[in-house]
Amino acid sequence: MLRLPIASLFSVCVKARTAATATAAASNLLEVFVDGKPVMVEPGTTVLQACEKAGMQIPRFCYHERLSVAGNCRMCLVEIEKFLRYLLGSMCPLFVL
């Protein structure tokens, strides 16, 4: 029988739970490509946020993280493969299709 102090046992349990949570969270990520560069994002992330994570700046005037999305200025129009028209990057969430 292995005897560990309670603090060590708690630490092992927390590490195992954290690793399991990280693995589960990683499996929920989506892989999207921004100009051919793969980026891992959570479902519901907007195209604008995914592009920023990839290091690409999309011009915008009416978007701010703390405000609701208006999409009035139309500066953040992006082209998405397999779509027939340009879409607002600030308003398009990414989901599995």
Residues in contact with 94: Cβ distance below 8 Å, sequence separation at least 6, in sequence order: 30, 32, 41, 43, 44, 45, 46, 47, 50
pTM of the model: 0.63
Domain boundaries along the sequence of the chain: 30-96
Give 27-81 pLDDT, tens digit per residue.
789 998 988 899 999 998 888 889 889 998 888 887 777 877 777 888 888 888 8
